[in-house]
Amino acid sequence: MTKERYQNPTVGDNIFLRLFTYNSNNKVNVNEIEEVKIYFLDPAEKTVDNPDGLRLIETISGNNVTNESAGQYLLEIAALDPDYVIGNYVDKWTVKFEDNEACVATITNNFTIYPDLWFTTSVPPIYDFNFNFRPNRIRKGTKRYLLIQVTPNVPRGSDVQNYYENLAIVADLRVSIESACGDCVPVENDLKLLVDRQLVGFREKMYAYYFIDTSEIDAGIYNIWFELAFGENIFISDKSALQIHD
């Protein structure tokens, strides 16, 4: 299975490690990513000179980093046993920002590899999820991320809550958007759809981030809803209103 760094990866998963680079608040490519080093924070390796217990796992050439779009980089690693175990890691990116710079910078990020999620019960568990998002009103021409929150509807403070919070992290989340009210709303349902079950890629714990560009979207009221699927279950949220205004 492939997971984002904040989707509770386990041993054996492929992990997406991302890096976003900005210049004056705009996404801009750096001159070069030379390499990425993955370290395990090994308690047995802690010394006065190495207080975090850094133990090098692998060094990956910058040639293996994908430049997905301006200022957006992706490295996929295979967290395979025995090199990768349960625990905390850092990924250090060696970056040269400008062509005429003699020095390089080291960007340090973190991720954790978790134990497998096991759960037993004598009957099929009954549960549900609540979906919320913001903002629900956006000015036309805006480009930004919608923040989607997925929370389990189970007794709070229970083991079941913790379990389903973790399930929500790793489950596929999809978003759909359709025209509801405006100057020109198509009659056919399929023509109303602006976004049809698009997978939300950026995940962090109970949150997901969906990028929306309203430059080519007419002002009006739109329906937005979410779909969460894992195992034998599919959860579809109620439709909520999303306003694009002039």
Identify whether 211 is part of a domain.
yes
pLDDT at residue number 12:
95
Among 25-29, 52-56, 75-79, 183-187, whose mean pLDDT is lowest? 183-187
**Domain edge (last residue) among 62, 79, 113:** 113
- In this structure, is residue 13 part of a structural domain? yes
> Are 34 and 97 contained in the same domain?
yes
What's the CA gap between 173 and 186, in Å, rounded? Answer: 27
Rounded distance, CA 88 to CA 111, Å? Answer: 6
pLDDT grade for 184, boundaries at 50, 70 and 90: low
One domain, residues 170 and 80: no
Percent residues over pLDDT 70 in the chain: 88
**Torsion sign across C-alpha atoms 210, 13, 206, 20:** negative
Which ranges constitute the DSSP H helices of the chain? 159-170, 189-192
Name the more confident of 88 and 102. 88
Q: Is residue 200 part of a domain?
A: yes
In whole angstroms, give the CA distance from residue 29 to residue 72: 7
pLDDT band at 187 (very low <50, low <70, confident <90, very high): low
Tell how strand 207-213 and strand 233-236 pair up. unpaired
Res 144: pLDDT? 92
* pLDDT tens digits for range 107-155: 999 999 999 877 777 776 667 788 999 999 999 999 999 999 988 877 6
* Pair (135, 241) in one structural domain: yes
- Confidence at 245, pLDDT banded by 50, 70, 90: very high
For residue 210, what is the domain's CATH number? Answer: 2.60.40.10
Both 140 and 180 in one domain: the answer is yes
Are 137 and 230 found together in one domain? yes
Name the residue among 231, 219, 232 with its Cα closest to residue 182: 219
Task: Give me the mean pLDDT over the 88-97 stretch.
Answer: 97
Q: Which CATH number is 65's domain given? A: 2.60.40
Pair 207, 157 in one domain? yes
Cα separation of 64 and 78, whole Å? 13
The DSSP result for 143-159, as a single string, is EEEEEEEEEE-S-TTSH
Structural domains of the chain, count: 2
pTM, to two decimals: 0.74
Q: What number is the average pLDDT over the span 204-216? A: 90
Does residue 121 fall inside a structural domain?
Answer: no
Comparing 183 with 137, the larger pLDDT belongs to 137
* 101 in the same domain as 29: yes
Do 7 and 75 fall into the same domain? yes
- pLDDT, residue 118, reads 76
> 184 lies in which domain range?
129-245
Residue in 105, 88, 82, 92 with CA at minimum distance from that of residue 31: 105
* 118 located within any domain: no
Can you give the pLDDT at residue 230?
72
Residue 108 inside a domain? The answer is yes
Kindly state whether residues 53 and 142 are assigned to the same domain: no
Q: Residue 101: what pLDDT?
A: 80
Residues 101 and 14 in one domain: yes
